[in-house]
Structure 1
Amino acid sequence: MKSIQQYKEKVLDGALLSKEEAMIIANAPLEEICAAANEIREHFCGNNFDICSIINGKSGRCSENCKYCAQSSFYGTQIEQYPLLDTEILVEQAKYNEERGVLRYSIVTSAKKLNNQEVDKVCESIRTIRKKTGIAVCASFGLLDEKQLIKLKDAGVSRVHNNLETSRRNFPNVCTTHSYDEKIETIKAALRVGLNVCSGGIMGLGETMEDRIDMALTIRELGIRSIPVNMLNPIPGTPYENNKIFTNDHMCRIVAVFRFLVPNASIRLAGGRGLLEDKGVKCFQSGANAAISGDMLTTLGISIEQDMKILDRLGYKAALWNE
């Protein structure tokens, strides 16, 4: 059996690892795979760190039954509910983030997808954001069709976000109101119209390491190079409220394996990072090189100022990566 160093050299030489090889790596000593993953990250990505922020552009009353989500209408969670935010608020928040060094701003909305009227409204907001700021705009508006995606691109969106969440095998255990194939079709439609795509998943949904690797391989096959790695924040009132919170070691192992599988990606710590004692520092030394900064959708995050200090301490520089 090959050593971790041999697998690392194989990746550095430009080869892609198989599922079987990833499973071997996933069970190797943690410090060894994290150090190797960090070398792979340095080789392919340098010290570039893709830091972005998000705004909850439409909150609650979602028709979907995703078991992790506080915004689902299926569960008795206590969250603020409101329709699509007005342009003034979206622009104000974009300016706030840009002034603090964030280079990418994502508008995220609840519901299976925005309707055509909502897409037209948010496109006007995006045009204003692009006119009044220099920040890149990402959109996370659900399972849109190709015509809607073209409208977003024409309005100034450069990236669309659509998480797979977990593996194809595990997805029916997480959500039954839409399918894995619907997610993949939206991703493929976005790629067809020339949009960049960001897609990853949530760790802690009852999945196995094999499920995580299967998801990462699907993402790699789709050609996606921005991969959010969320850690479940168990929300009271959701079916996953009693799921265990992952440890730092859990998350470091996951991001290290993902780095071996998709060596040139932006591997982005996202939701749940605030639950880690070090706010993700060890993960940023184990293959991760991107993050969502500021508050999440319905939970608190880590301030942009705090994150910028972390990047400086680790020798990273904020940069748009895989744009």
Structure 2
Amino acid sequence: MGLAEQLKQKILEGYQMTKEEALELYDEPLVEICRAADEIRQFFCGNRFDICTIVNGKSGKCSENCKYCAQSAYYHTSAEEYPLLDTEEIVRQARYNADCGVLRYSIVTSGRCLNDDEIRQMCEAIREIKEKVDIEVCVSFGLLTEEQFRRIKEAGASRVHNNLETSRRNFPNVCTTHTFDDKVRAIRAAMAAGLEVCSGGIMGLGESAEDRIDMALTLRELGIKSVPVNMLNPIPGTPYEKNERLGVNDMRRIVAVCRYLLPDAAIRLAGGRGLMEDKGEGCFCSGANAAISGDMLTTAGYTVETDLKMIDRLGYKVYLS
């Protein structure tokens, strides 16, 4: 019995894999890791698949210097710039996505954090969505305080998105205008306010396998159950524009090891999926069981209709995670 199978059996019995075991597993044959990871997914999550969509609620002129981001004011890219969308447009898009069969809709805004007036505007939009549309609302508004998160929850949002992006060790190589601890504090503040949290990272930033595993271990420590796994799309004009793009098998290996470390989480293919030749199908057979559909902020994704057909063909059923 190979290592992938041995560790799978232990995880099915409730074992938590160690960092050392994860590092060893990472180099095991891909087919074995992916097959076992999918069996772990089936055991803990069944055929449940969580699909969500996002709206770029405020774009560009971001004060932060994240090296991967087209919206940072530090870099010259072709990303569109505009202030907060009005309530009518945000509600219109929520209704459109609900009509397409999507169960969760996320409002994402650029910048370190929204100010109090912007939060007031977004709370109005969230309240109107909850009054008029049958859909869950998720928000990604940056590094807010617990009090600000409470206002958002009271308006009707159920989940906050805030990616760690990478490991604590690698984070200073990716961004210097805020810290890894700033991220963790915001995640804990959202949890204290009673919100669920969605948090993951971007693969292809120059990180090592150890960085990827360390990030997953931090997510496990924080108790995160919705984990976006993004693949870097090297955007011209950003410092990472010449980074080598990862391949489908790289991403399959990453999501499979994440499944071992986070056996009952919704592991969500997110940004960069549009660059994969198979639209992420290989990852959905290797432990991933969730996705962001539609456009991805500044890059194109796949249509909800196309994704729902693939999800059905693979034997999944759409549920909220």
TM-score, with length taken from structure 1: 0.99
Give the aligned partner of residue 309 of structure 1.
Answer: 309
Give the aligned partner of residue 229 of structure 2.
Answer: 229
Say if 2:173 is the partner of 1:182.
no
| CA-to-aligned-CA distance 1:209-249 (integer Å, 9 cap, x gap) | 00000000000000001000000000000000011111000
Give the aligned partner of residue 193 of structure 1.
Answer: 193
Using the alignment, how far apart are the partners of 1:215 and 1:3 within structure 2? Answer: 22
SS of alignment partner, residue 207 of structure 1: coil
Shift of 1:3: 2.1
Which letter does structure 2 place at the counterpart of 1:24? E
| CA-to-aligned-CA distance 1:127-185 (integer Å, 9 cap, x gap) | 00010011000000000001100000000000000000000000000000001101000
Give the aligned partner of residue 160 of structure 1.
Answer: 160
Which letter does structure 2 place at the counterpart of 1:156? G
Give the aligned partner of residue 202 of structure 1.
Answer: 202
Say if 2:233 is the partner of 1:265.
no
Contact 2:147-2:193 within 8 A present in 1 as well? no
Segments of structure 1 that go 5 or more residues without pairing to the other structure are: none
Give the aligned partner of residue 104 of structure 1.
Answer: 104
Using the alignment, how far apart are the partners of 2:151 and 2:86 within structure 1? Answer: 18
Shift of 1:292: 0.1
Say if 2:93 is the partner of 1:88.
no
Give the aligned partner of residue 113 of structure 1.
Answer: 113
Say if 2:297 is the partner of 1:320.
no
Give the aligned partner of residue 61 of structure 1.
Answer: 61
Give the aligned partner of residue 244 of structure 1.
Answer: 244
Which letter does structure 1 place at the counterpart of 2:20? E
Using the alignment, how far apart are the partners of 1:78 and 1:249 within structure 2? Answer: 30
Structure 1 segment 39-50 matched on structure 2, within 5 A: 39-50=39-50
| CA-to-aligned-CA distance 1:57-85 (integer Å, 9 cap, x gap) | 00000000000000000000012110010
SS of alignment partner, residue 95 of structure 1: helix
Segments of structure 2 that go 5 or more residues without pairing to the other structure are: none
Query: What is the alpha-carbon root mean square deviation over aligned residues?
Result: 0.8
SS of alignment partner, residue 37 of structure 1: helix
Say if 2:23 is the partner of 1:23.
yes
SS of alignment partner, residue 157 of structure 1: coil
Using the alignment, how far apart are the partners of 2:119 and 2:71 within structure 1? Answer: 20
Structure 1 segment 65-84 matched on structure 2, within 5 A: 65-84=65-84
Using the alignment, how far apart are the partners of 2:80 and 2:259 within structure 1? Answer: 36
Contact 2:3-2:28 within 8 A present in 1 as well? no
Using the alignment, how far apart are the partners of 2:14 and 2:101 within structure 1? Answer: 33
TM-score, with length taken from structure 2: 0.99
Question: What is the total number of aligned residue pairs between the two structures?
Answer: 321
Using the alignment, how far apart are the partners of 2:107 and 2:256 within structure 1? Answer: 28
SS of alignment partner, residue 57 of structure 1: strand
Shift of 1:2: 6.4
Using the alignment, how far apart are the partners of 1:127 and 1:284 within structure 2? Answer: 34
After superposing on structure 2, the runs of 4+ consecutive aligned residues of structure 1 that deviate more than 2 Å are none
User: What is the percentage of aligned positions where both structures have the same residue?
Assistant: 66
Which letter does structure 1 place at the counterpart of 2:125? S
Structure 1 segment 141-152 matched on structure 2, within 5 A: 141-152=141-152
